[in-house]
Amino acid sequence: MEKNIVDILKKNQLSITDSRKKILSLFVQSNGALAHADIEHQSGTEFDRVTIYRTLQTFVDKGIIHTIPTTDNSVRYALCKDDCSAGHHHDDHVHFMCDNCGTTYCLDHITVPAVKLPKGFKVTQTDVVVSGVCNNCNN
| Interface contacts to Zn ion, rule CB under 5 A | 98, 100-101, 134, 136-137
Beta bridge partners of 111: 93
How far apart are CB 136 and DNA at their closest, in Å?
24
Is 41 a binding residue for DNA by CB under 7 A? The answer is no
Burial of 135 (0-12, 13-18, 19+ CB in 10 A): exposed
- Candidate segments 6-14, 24-32, 76-84, 126-134, binder of Mn ion by CB under 5 A: 76-84
Shortest Cβ contact with Zn ion: which residue?
A: 98
The contact pattern for DNA, residues 108-137, with x = CB under 7 A and - = no contact, is ------------------------------
CB 91 within 8 A of CB 51: no
The crossing angle, in degrees rounded to 10, of helices 18-29 and 49-62 is 70
Side by side, which strands form the sheet with 76-79?
Answer: 34-35, 76-79, 65-68
Is 60 a binding residue for a copy of itself by CB under 8 A? The answer is no
Of 70, 61, 86, 67, nearest in space to 27 by CA? 67
Would you give the distance in Å from CA 41 to the centre of its chain? 17
Residues 92-121 that bind Mn ion (CB under 5 A): 106
- Candidate segments 25-33, 43-51, 105-113, 118-126, binder of DNA by CB under 7 A: 43-51
Residues that bind a copy of itself (CB under 8 A): 69-71, 73-75, 94, 96, 99, 107, 109-110, 113, 115-136, 138-139
